[in-house]
Amino acid sequence: MKSFEQIKSLENRYHMNVYGRQPVAFVRGEGATLWDSDGKQYLDFLAGIAVMNVGHSHPKVVEAIREQAGLLTHVSNLFYTEPQADLAQRLHDLLGWGKVFFSNSGAEANECALKLARRWARAHGSPDRSGVVVALGSFHGRTFTTLAATGQPHKHEPFAPLPAWFKYISLNDEEALDQAVGDDTTAVLLEVVQGEGGVRLATPEFLTAARKFCDERGAALIVDEVQTGLGRTGKWFAFQHYDVAPDIVTLAKALGAGLPIGACIAREEVADAFKPGDHATTFGGGPVPCAAALAVLDIIESEDLVARAAAAGERLTDVLLQATAGNPAVNEVRGLGLLIAVELAGEWAAEIVGKALERGLIVNNVAPNAVRLAPPLIVTDEQIARAVEILADILVGYGGAS
């Protein structure tokens, strides 16, 4: 096995410099624990950015991948495969509606959703509709279109000009939403919780208004559940915390337990706007990622991980609040289920993340003043206590706390 310095040297020489990597190379994972190339053990409270909901190397996922890889890995989407058909049915049944398109990532799932919304609008006598309303602070992907949909202007600047059919409004600004959704609007694309935007929640009133305006003005409501779906927030889907139902839902991250798979699920009347040749992918919905995803759904159901995420998220929030009470370094602890941010009184997040890593805790700086925690849904109470102990101890050195 190569040393960390050997791995880092190869990376610096041969990999494009697009990631601000932490000074660790991981080689093994189990549950909520990771080990690096030097054998050091870490408590993973990031889960590959909300990917490893069922934990690292879950035996049932490993076996599903191994078994399917020994049978069939790829034939292209010119042919039927059983794992893809089974997974489409499972996702339909979880929502109670819908048809599915499988992609390789969340960005591609969102790309599909945007194309489908436009195709649907044009199939219903609105050939000139192209506008999409999105929220500032959102994150929807890194393709040109999904980057343009991402409400973070600083990410746009290096690649401008981007597609120009997006309108940006502040999250939870119902008046701005009312003004933005018009006769030219194809879709409203929203996250229930803005994960990359600092773990900021949409209000019930804002989501209700989005549904109302879409219904009145003939637009599709798309909910991006790439980071929040499949139990992360204490419901199968984050929108289920609200009395609002979307027309299109996008998934990825946790669906494949680390394998590349995304899904765009649309109500039947919307999905049927796509015709053969309108959209496609070479690898999306391949047998092995679909087998892994089926195992993930089985595990979440059999181990009751949706309820576990709700209970563990409440516990993590409570313990964080207790441990940081009176510390002026902490402005707020917020989130939903096991997607939580500690908002700081200063821009110390990157420094705190580095110190946590040195002490064997993995979290990340989702904003200059916010640290995100998103552990696997299988996290134990003891692991929660240990993570909070480390983080609270580090925070004592900030904001004048002592």
Q: What is the DSSP code string of 134-151?
A: EEBT----SSHHHHHHSB
Predicted local distance difference test score (pLDDT) of residue 128? 82
CA 188: distance to chain centroid?
A: 18
H or E element at residue 224: strand 220-224
Phi, psi of 112, deg, nearest 5: -60, -45
Tokens linked to 330: 């902490």
| Alpha-carbon dihedral 346, 190, 112, 107, rounded to 10 degrees | 10
Reference 56, options 334, 383, 397; nearest CA is 383
pTM score, two decimals? 0.97
Rounded Cα distance between 195 and 380, Å, is 23
Residue 155: its H or E element: helix 153-156
CB 402 within 8 A of CB 396: yes
**Alpha-carbon span 309 to 34, nearest angstrom:** 20
Q: What is the pLDDT of residue 400?
A: 63
- Torsion, CA 10, CA 13, CA 19, CA 22, rounded to 10: 40
**What is the number of residues in the chain?**
402
pLDDT value at residue 337: 98
- E strands, 163-316, are 166-169, 185-190, 193-194, 200-201, 220-224, 248-251, 262-266
Mean pLDDT by 10 residues, the chain (402 residues): 94 95 97 97 98 98 98 98 98 98 98 97 84 98 98 96 97 98 96 97 98 96 98 98 96 98 98 97 98 98 98 98 96 98 97 98 97 98 98 88 48
Q: Count CB-CB contacts under 10 A for residue 361.
A: 23
Domains, the chain, in order of start with CATH, read 4-54+304-395 (3.90.1150.10), 60-302 (3.40.640.10)
What is the residue whose two structure tokens read 């049915």?
A: 89
Judged by phi (left if over 0) then psi (alpha if -120 to 50, else beta), residue 326 lies in left
